[in-house]
Structures are given as structure tokens and as C-alpha cells.
Amino acid sequence: MQRFAAAAWPVSLRVVSTVATLALVGVTFVLDRAVPRGTRVPFAETFGTLVVFVPLAILLGALLFLVKGYELDTTGFWVERLLWRTPIGLGGLTAAWHDPVAMKRSLRLFGNGGLYAVTGLFQNAALGRYRAFVTDPKKAVVLRYESRVVVVSPANPDALLAHLKLISPATMVGTPPGAA
């Protein structure tokens, strides 16, 4: 099994993650101070305490889904998360290429647009609907399958593509389909 580190966080991801983390921690603190304590209003303290944990749950959820790296061998392709691996697979993979502008002008349909990673379901004119597991969009590698598209961002896109070419010779590696 070959491991490929995720691309380093670009400045934009660092800034968004830092500002969002500080904001969510700040909101948690403010909410905690606003919770009524010792009132006679039924469930006021209980409800307030539950609301305090919402920003922390957002942080924890985003942290759990961050992208640490990728693993690739002849049996499959996986995205390494904080506590588990998400299987992507190699079955039906037809093409793979490095495309630093693959995620340009994308619409996020569902997912996380920048708190510790860019993950989820996206869509743009070039790729159609695709799933992203990205830390740096400029290092994007597009994996086109028969019925889906996945975008990842290894620290070294060329190394991932070279290894993919070795273990999956039937996959067109290096140039996008339709490019001459």
C-alpha cells in the first residue's frame, strides 16, 4: 500500500479555518454566558446548555472529516480521515489527471467549503457533479470513473499519478479525456 500525504493547506484554507475556529469558540463562550441559570422557566437552562454545544459540534464534525492523506494499491483507493479511511475504489476508473483549475467556478451542493478541508459534493461546467476530498485545489487530481468523478489533492500529484499508472495500466493517466 502506497501512502500519499494530502497537500499542505494554502493560506486561504489556513485563514478560513483559523477565523472560523475562533468565531465558533467565541460564539460558544458568548452562548454559555447567555444561558439562564437557576430560572423557573421549564427547560430554559437545559435548552440553553444544548445550544452552547452546537458550535463545538460543528468544529468536531469538521475536524473528524479533515483529509490527512490518501492510500492507493491494486485493491483500492482510500481517503485518510482523522479516525477512519473513506473508500473510493478503483473499479470503473477510466482517467486521471492533474488539473490546478478543476474546482474553479464550482457550486457546493453539500459539504464543507473550507473548515480544515474542502470536502463534499460539488458541481461545475468542466467536471459536472463531483465529490471532493481536497486541501489545496491547485494540487487537484481528477479521477474520472464510468459513472462519477472524484477530486483529491495529494502533496505530489505527479507521484500519485505515476503510481496509479503502474497499478492500473488500463486507466488513461496524465491528460484529460478529449485533450490532444
Q: What is the pLDDT of residues 77-131, one digit of tens each?
A: 999 999 999 999 999 999 999 999 999 999 999 999 999 999 999 999 999 999 9
pLDDT band with cut points at 50, 70 and 90 for residue 43 = confident
Residue 17 counted as domain residue: yes
pTM summary value = 0.89
Does the pLDDT of residue 158 top 90, yes or no? yes
Residue 63 lies in a domain: yes
Domain-embedded: residue 121:
yes
Cβ contact 153:122 at 8 Å: no
Mean pLDDT over each residue of the chain, to the nearest integer: 93
Whether residue 180 has pLDDT greater than 60: no
162 part of a folded domain: yes
What is the model's pLDDT at position 170?
A: 87
Residue 140 CB contacts under 8 Å (≥ 6 apart), including other chains: 98, 99, 100, 102, 103, 134, 151, 152, 153, 157
Residue 65 lies in a domain: yes
The pairing of beta strand 2-5 with beta strand 69-73? antiparallel
CA distance 13 to 35: 32
50 vs 152, higher pLDDT: 152
The CA distance from 47 to 42, in Å, is 9
Question: Would 180 be classed as within a structural domain?
Answer: no
Which 3 state secondary structure label does DSSP give 115? coil
Number of domains within the chain:
1
Its domain, for residue 6, covers 1-175
User: How many C-beta neighbours within 10 Å does residue 7 have?
Assistant: 23
The pLDDT confidence band at residue 35, using thresholds 50, 70 and 90, is confident
Can you state the angle between helices 11-34 and 44-64, rounded to 10 degrees? 170
Quick one: pLDDT band at residue 160, thresholds 50, 70, 90?
very high
Note whether residue 124 is domain-resident: yes
CB 153 within 8 A of CB 141: yes
Q: Is 13 part of a structural domain of the chain? A: yes
